[in-house]
Structure 1
Amino acid sequence: MSLRYDALVLGAGQAGLATAYHLQRRGLQFQVLEAGHRPVGSWPLHYRSLKLFSPARHAALPGLPFPGDPERYPSRDEVVAYLNAYAAHFRFPVVTEAEATQILPDDGGFRVLTADGRTFLSRTVVAATGTFRRPFIPAVPGQELFGGTVLHSLAYQEPSPFTGQRVLVGAGNSAVQIAVELAQVARVTLAVRTPVLFAPQRILGRDIHDWITWLRVDQLTLGHIRRLPSPRNVFDPGLYRTAFRLGQLDQRAMFLQFTAQGVVWPDGQEEAVDTVVFATGYRADLDFLRGTGALDSQGEPVQRLGVSRTVPGLYFAGLSGQRALASATLRGAGQEAALVVEQIARGQP
């Protein structure tokens, strides 16, 4: 029979590792199960040129500063290296290549089954798989007729395959970064439902996230929001507005439908398009909870502030809008995890 832990953490990305840190500090017996082969979450899947929209000082998990210049904006690969080093530094008990496939009730706790046939028993479970593994692409009329390429931004890696193409990209911080990069090799339009407004990355010599942190804006409790809306404001170090001003790309209202060759714009104009990149966010990847009563009819967790409202002993970490604006970010992971682990510790026999 497998050891019964105080907590099983599902996922070793930023949310799972922050949870492990607080469980370790509390002296609780726990195990982290990670589907991949490294404790780095979904970061390696994102496009190669990705840079954080906040400085390194705001990218650290609890207990270990992000290395290097705290003013710089770390790259995707730097975040991957940091998360890997973080898990090693604290010697967290992480089991890799252990994808949780089913959770079953077991004598007042849980039995967690993995894809390779292993079983883990625990008093509580923290679902920390985050919201960046299950890309969401909206249904647009005529999409089945379109002869070009439709992909989610998660499938985008670098611009060279799109050289010479006509490309449309969705909106938001990542979409703008991708669109500006693609504009170096392709003819690009940012297709938006509401106009993107560019906000300065730095105010009075300080990054906007310094001000947000000092004013505690991103820690204001939101309660349970099923899904945060896409941001209209994009923080810009100056690069993005310059690209639009120089005519390297433009911004138009979202197209109405696909055609066989392209799209139809709101003014009725039809245009041939090669590729559409939807940067339309993600949905929670929680299939292992199906059948437990933890999810609603849309597959979303029934929770408040990281605590399941329908399954005692089940918790969540890293969900978008779980408690505050920063809940699903590196800078918010530590505080979210601390609150969840406090609830777990209170339930100790």
Structure 2
Amino acid sequence: MQIAAELAERAQVTLTARHSVRFARRRTLGRDLHWWLTRTGIDTLPVGRFLRTPPTQLVIDDGRYRHAVAAGAPDWRPVFTGVSGTKVTWADGTTEEVDAILLATGYRPDLGYLAPLGALDGHGHPIHREGVSLARPGLAYMGLEWQRSLSSNSLGGVGRDASRIARRLAVYVHRG
């Protein structure tokens, strides 16, 4: 969202995603949302194991991103269904010529290649507890949405999760 809004100040930009953009207020009761999440412990609360389907991530906004989307800069559309050469095919069947496609953070990984290993559930999600595979010894994941907590797929949380997984994998390697 942030990149799209900045680029839209100088070019025609379309922001696309599987779900419409959901916004969260950046400041509440005079404090930044990250302050509240850290202070209350919500950002590190290990609730990931209880979520079958992670909720859509919110765009933390001080109002400018919501305003930019409402003004059409960037324009928002549901995710495209195909790309051929320099043309994008949208969900409604229309095509559009594009100069560039920028894939940015916030996307969900496609881990289908792990299916033959039995490492995924019936919905294509990794079978794991806090990033350590329950299906394949020695396999671990990093940066998954709600892997362990709200901040697992953010720069602030991935390091904390990596440390935890490294310790668990070290035990596995030592035993093996």
Under a length normalisation based on structure 1, what TM-score does the superposition of the two structures give? Answer: 0.37
Q: Does 1:221 align with 2:47?
A: yes
Q: How many residues align?
A: 167
* Closer/same/farther in 2, CA of residues 318 and 272 from structure 1, 3 Å limit: closer
Residue aligning to 2:97? 272
Of residues 301, 316, 324, the one that matches 2:149 is 324
Aligned AA (2:101): V
Q: Which runs of 5 or more residues in structure 1 are unaligned?
A: 1-175, 288-292
Q: Which runs of 5 or more residues in structure 2 are unaligned?
A: none
Q: Offset of 1:234 from its aligned partner?
A: 0.7
Please say if residues 119 and 136 of structure 2, whose CA atoms lie closer than 8 Å, have aligned partners that are also in contact: no
Of residues 164, 167, 170, the one that matches 1:341 is 167
The correspondence of residues 1-349 of structure 1 with structure 2, limited to 5 A, is 176-218=1-43, 219-223=45-49, 228=54, 230-231=56-57, 233-258=58-83, 262-279=87-104, 281=107, 283=109, 295=119, 303-309=128-134, 314=138, 316=140, 318-320=142-144, 321-332=146-157, 333-334=159-160, 337-338=163-164, 341=167
Identity fraction in percent: 34
Please say if residues 133 and 141 of structure 2, whose CA atoms lie closer than 8 Å, have aligned partners that are also in contact: no
Q: Offset of 1:309 from its aligned partner?
A: 3.2
Aligned AA (1:181): E
Under a length normalisation based on structure 2, what TM-score does the superposition of the two structures give? Answer: 0.64
For 2:9 and 2:25, how far apart are their aligned partners in 1? 23
Q: Greater shift after overlay, 192-201 or 299-308?
A: 299-308
* Rg larger for: 1
Equivalent position SS for 1:278 = coil
For 1:244 and 1:296, how far apart are their aligned partners in 2? 36
Please say if residues 315 and 340 of structure 1, whose CA atoms lie closer than 8 Å, have aligned partners that are also in contact: no
* Closer/same/farther in 2, CA of residues 304 and 259 from structure 1, 3 Å limit: closer
* Closer/same/farther in 2, CA of residues 184 and 339 from structure 1, 3 Å limit: closer
Equivalent position SS for 1:255 = coil
Please say if residues 132 and 141 of structure 2, whose CA atoms lie closer than 8 Å, have aligned partners that are also in contact: no
